[in-house]
Amino acid sequence: MKTSEKLAAGWLIVLGFMLTTISAQAMINKHLMFKQIPPGAYDQNDYINHHAVAELDTTAVNGIIFGLPSLVLGGWLALGMRRQGKKEHSAIAKQMDLHLQSMFYRMIAENEGRITVLGFAMQSQLPAAEAREFLDEQAKQFNANFKVSEDGAVSYHFDI
């Protein structure tokens, strides 16, 4: 469904842009047809192609009538898809945060308040940097103690 919505929005925007461009070009051409002829060269009214002027007027009006709604509808679809994508991304991030929180609390309960970056990273399947960042944030919130082992591993100690 998303692919078809993206295609529809893209085609509507392209179609609307093409039609409004054609309309603008028709208006420019009509303006150029009525450019002033140098004085004394010819009688201006004798050389105006009224059929071409009417055709340019029709092209300009039709381009606006069909082009602007296409642009607006395509833009509206694209904006709606963007908002929906942001909502979905936010919901996934919120769900991930809840999952990490529950895993964190479970590990704290199982290990009597002691947790390491490696243990949390293995359980949550997060990269080490993200696991450390999450644990640092939790340690600040809960006033945890840090202990560094002889080999340099950091363990967090939370009071239960």
pLDDT of residue 34 exceeding 60, the answer is yes
Phi and psi at residue 13, to the nearest 5°: -65, -45
- 128-147 pLDDT tens trace: 888 888 888 888 888 888 88
Q: Which domain holds residue 59?
A: 1-95
Residue 101 lies in a domain: no
Q: Are both 82 and 128 inside the same structural domain?
A: no
Residue 117 lies in a domain: yes
**Cβ contact 112:149 at 8 Å:** no
- Whole-model pTM? 0.60
- 40-71 pLDDT tens trace: 555 555 567 778 888 989 999 999 999 999 99
Long-range CB pairs of 150-154 (<8 Å, 24+ gap) are: 153/116, 153/117, 153/118, 154/116, 154/117
Show which of 64, 95, 126 is a domain's final residue.
Answer: 95
